[in-house]
Amino acid sequence: MRHHFIGVLAVALLAAGCDVIDEPDNPVPSVGPCTGNGSGARRVLLEDLTGFRCSTCPPAAEKAREIQSFYCKDVIVVAMHVTSTFAAPLNPAPGPFSTDFRTPSGNETITTAGFQPPNLPIGMVNRKVDGTLGTRLLQHGAWATATAAVIGEPAQFEVLIDTIVHNSVSNTYDFRVRVPVLQDVSGGYNLTVLLTEDHVADWQKDARYDPSDLFPYDHRHVLRDNVNGTWGQSIIASSAAVGDTIPTQYSYSLPTNVIDPAHCAVVAYVYRTDSYEVMQVSQRELGE
């Protein structure tokens, strides 16, 4: 018997051990399930940790865009430019690579335990820690799988960003964020509100091209500032019940790094303070 055991194992392995794939794109509709705001389903915050001098980063940005277009607007992308190696300006303005895309909140995030990127590009999907790898910082090949695992699940919260009003006297943007509680929850929860700017034309290194310095490169969903601090504000200290709604109010002046307010959006998300996992997220453009 044992004489044949390894032989049988060998044949079985050779037959079953190889999935040769010629055309990797899944034969599925190009648009996935889109539930939209207010449906009671979870949306996903995809944070792309990147840098304009990181020449292997553009494929990650493209992957984020693919995932976003697959799930309509149920995936909200934030590009966080970080690290001095990849994001510090190289030349004085107005030379190439002279813009500093980094933000205080981005800098604080990547120096916090559990958020330190081992390399770029890397990203976080709802800031959720991968069960087997034990890290929330995932390479971009793993983003779609991590997104699929949580998107559309029943949500504990909704996040509603009300109409953003521009007050021309104080030159502030005034808006409310309301968080309706959809399930009884216990534990601490914070609400973080931040500002992104889309379609920023600037330099980018891209190793796929020769020369690798590209201009103008279309930087998408660039993190500009945190409205209420790097870690947001506490909205639930220990528990909340179905039917509760937590209202917050902001009067916000745009930071000086914003180029075109019309391309800006407010992103708001609720996360558990013990695990940092983002439970729900919403986005609203300034002019929307």
User: Please, what is the minimum distance in Å from the beta carbon of residue 278 to other proteins?
Assistant: 19
| Residue 144 in the binding site for other proteins (CB under 8 A) | yes
Among 112, 201, 208, 251, binds other proteins (CB under 8 A): 208
Q: CA-CA distances (angstroms) from residue 52 to 55, 101, 156, 204?
A: 8, 8, 36, 5
| Residue 124 in the binding site for other proteins (CB under 8 A) | no
User: Please, what is the minimum distance in Å from the beta carbon of residue 5 to other proteins?
Assistant: 7
User: Please, what is the minimum distance in Å from the beta carbon of residue 111 to other proteins?
Assistant: 12
Greatest C-alpha distance within the chain: 89
Query: Which residues, other chains included, contact 109 with Cβ-Cβ below 8 Å and sequence gap of 6+?
Result: 80, 82, 115, 230
Q: How far apart are CA 284 and CA 278, in angstroms?
A: 17
**Ranges within 63-102 binding other proteins (CB under 8 A):** 66-67, 70, 85-86
- For tokens 């039917």, name the residue: 243
User: Please, what is the minimum distance in Å from the beta carbon of residue 22 to other proteins?
Assistant: 7
Q: What are the residue ranges of helices labelled H in 71-181?
A: 84-87, 104-109, 143-150
Number of residues that bind other proteins (CB under 8 A): 49
| Residue 274 in the binding site for other proteins (CB under 8 A) | no
| Residue 275 in the binding site for other proteins (CB under 8 A) | no
Judged by CB, which is closer to other proteins: 115, or 189? 115
User: Please, what is the minimum distance in Å from the beta carbon of residue 27 to other proteins?
Assistant: 8
Q: 123: which strand partners?
A: 48, 138
Q: Are 60 and 123 in contact (CB under 8 A)?
A: yes
Q: Which of 125, 128, 146 is nearest to 78 (CA)?
A: 125
Q: What are phi and psi of 44, to 5 degrees?
A: -125, 135
| Residue 246 in the binding site for other proteins (CB under 8 A) | no
According to DSSP, residue 216 is labeled E
Q: Residues interacting with other proteins, by CB under 8 A?
A: 2-3, 5-6, 9-10, 13-14, 16-26, 28, 32, 53-56, 59, 66-67, 70, 85-86, 118-119, 130, 132-135, 138-142, 144-145, 147-149, 208
